[in-house]
């Protein structure tokens, strides 16, 4: 995460944030290119010695410039939709370095991926496996596939981002996967030779990861003993990051050690799918104070950013450090409910947050906003999408222009042309 002190000073990667906000407006997403490169490099170094590939989870932040940056660092992509496939390909990520996850792949998306020649499908249901066989046979191609195992491990994360328990919609139980391998000959156009898991997101403890890896490793050894060749093991992603000062998160080295220990003796390709871990701490959401409001019981700090710009606090009660950019150390500290202007009580970034007093038109930076910020944003309350910039060495580049009201409603039409299906 950008050091709080560096952001408080009003600069981020050498860029004056006050001048940046005056020129590009707020709300404004600001991403550090050096910090993203550093994260990729540290993970790549940690995995050295293993036949391992990084497949960035595009859902975390799918901006084309971010994808191009990651592609330049050697990362592939983990996608969950046809739209993400198009984003990845257009950003220069080779199809041979793209894996397709997700529980609800449509026939159209499967066809798109087959025609692109992606690396492999992470298969989550018997119905999906049959669809891939049918569509691959129609085109006379062979699709590589991994079965996503649901290891029934509690990731100890927020319920809405837990994906590896039996009650979750993701993956299949090992008994089902065992049957799929046994009947592989009935699907000649699907080469089922991989295993995949992903137990959840924002994991701050590696113990659940180790438990899930142990279960998957035991199944891999069982399959090989039964004569099934396993060419790929995808260990998923989900590594957590520091959203608040003093919080600790796993580092790349410890994660790599856990993988190496669990998969000792595996001679195939190991894939990892980090998303949040690569980009979250490299981003801030720059916002301007609209006003301060004293209610009967609470003092509110109203920003020009809102839940449509950054949904994580309203969705998950997620914490983000919020740093005022003024430098007046003598100001009194107050307890604020930091909120946006959207007409929802849930439009709240923080409750009873102790902060130096802020005044209208001053800037604050919401930290840890590089992942699941812009990618989850919407135009709720008819609020145009925020701009995004990339910063490095005292300069910046606009990587998404601020949406205009005209662009926001450009595809809407009056009901003057009526058709029948």
Catalytic sites, residue numbers = 343
Question: Any idea how long the chain is?
Answer: 421
Classify 384 as helix, strand or coil.
coil
Residue 395: other Cβ atoms inside 10 A: 11
| Burial status of residue 78 (CB atoms within 10 A of its CB: 0-12, 13-18, 19 or more) | buried
Q: Are 386 and 309 in contact (CB under 8 A)?
A: yes
- 5 contact partners, CB below 8 Å, separation of at least 6: none
Read off the tokens for 81: 């939709």
Cβ atoms of 73 and 290 within 8 Å: the answer is no
- DSSP string covering 191-257: EEEEEE---BSSB--SHHHHHHHHHHHHHHHHHHHTT----EEE----B----STT-----HHHHHH
Q: Which helix (H) or strand (E) holds 135?
A: helix 126-139
- Token pair recorded at residue 67: 């994808």
Burial zone of 310 (CB within 10 Å; 0-12 exposed, 13-18 middle, 19+ buried): buried
Q: Which residues of 124-150 are buried (b: 16+ CB within 10 A; e: fewer)?
A: bbeebbebbbebbeeeeeebbbbbbbb
Measured CA to CA, the distance from residue 337 to residue 85 in angstroms comes to 39
Q: DSSP assignment, residue 40?
A: H
Ramachandran category for residue 29: left, alpha or beta (phi over 0 → left; psi -120 to 50 → alpha): beta
Angle in degrees, CA 383, 386, 388, rounded to 5: 170
Report the distance separating Cα 95 and Cα 113, nearest Å: 8
Q: Closest Cα to residue 55, out of 223, 249, 275?
A: 275
> What is d(CA 418, CA 34) in angstroms, rounded to the nearest whole number?
52
């Amino acid at each position: 995460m950008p050091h709080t002190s560096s952001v408080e000073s009003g600069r981020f990667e050498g860029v004056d944030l006050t001048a940046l906000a005056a020129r590009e407006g707020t709300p404004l997403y600001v991403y550090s290119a050096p910090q993203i490169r550093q994260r990729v490099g540290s993970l790549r170094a940690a995995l050295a010695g293993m036949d391992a590939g990084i497949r960035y989870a595009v859902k975390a932040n799918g901006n084309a410039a971010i994808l191009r940056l990651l592609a330049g660092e050697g990362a592939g992509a983990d996608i969950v939709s046809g739209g993400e496939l198009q984003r990845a390909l257009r950003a220069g990520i080779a199809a041979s370095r793209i894996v397709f996850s997700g529980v609800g792949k449509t026939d159209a998306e499967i066809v798109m991926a087959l025609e692109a020649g992606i690396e492999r499908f992470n298969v989550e249901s018997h119905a999906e496996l049959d669809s891939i066989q049918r569509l691959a046979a129609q085109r006379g191609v062979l699709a590589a596939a991994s079965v996503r195992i649901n290891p029934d491990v509690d990731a100890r994360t927020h319920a809405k981002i837990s994906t590896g328990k039996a009650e979750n919609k993701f993956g299949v139980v090992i008994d089902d996967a065992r049957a799929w391998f046994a009947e592989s000959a009935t699907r000649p156009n699907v080469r089922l030779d991989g295993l995949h898991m992903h137990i959840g997101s924002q994991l701050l403890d590696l113990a659940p990861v180790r438990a899930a890896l142990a279960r998957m490793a035991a199944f891999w050894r069982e399959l090989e003993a039964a004569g099934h060749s396993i060419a790929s093991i995808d260990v998923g992603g989900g590594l957590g990051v520091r959203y608040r000062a003093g919080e600790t998160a796993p580092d790349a080295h410890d994660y790599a050690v856990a993988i190496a220990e669990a998969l000792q003796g595996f001679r195939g390709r190991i894939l990892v799918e980090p998303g949040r871990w690569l980009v979250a701490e490299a981003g801030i959401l720059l916002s301007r104070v609209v006003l301060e409001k004293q209610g009967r019981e609470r003092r509110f700090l109203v920003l020009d950013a809102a839940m449509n710009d950054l949904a994580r606090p309203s969705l998950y009660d997620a914490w983000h450090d919020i740093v005022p950019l003024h430098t007046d150390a003598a100001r009194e500290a107050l307890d604020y409910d930091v909120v946006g202007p959207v007409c929802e009580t849930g439009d709240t970034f923080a409750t009873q947050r102790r902060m130096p007093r802020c005044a209208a038109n001053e800037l604050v930076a919401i930290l840890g906003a590089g992942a699941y910020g812009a990618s989850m944003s919407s135009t709720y309350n008819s609020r145009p999408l925020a701009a995004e910039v990339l910063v490095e060495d005292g300069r910046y580049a606009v990587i998404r222009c601020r949406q205009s009201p005209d662009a926001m409603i450009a595809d809407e039409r009056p009901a003057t042309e009526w058709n029948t299906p």
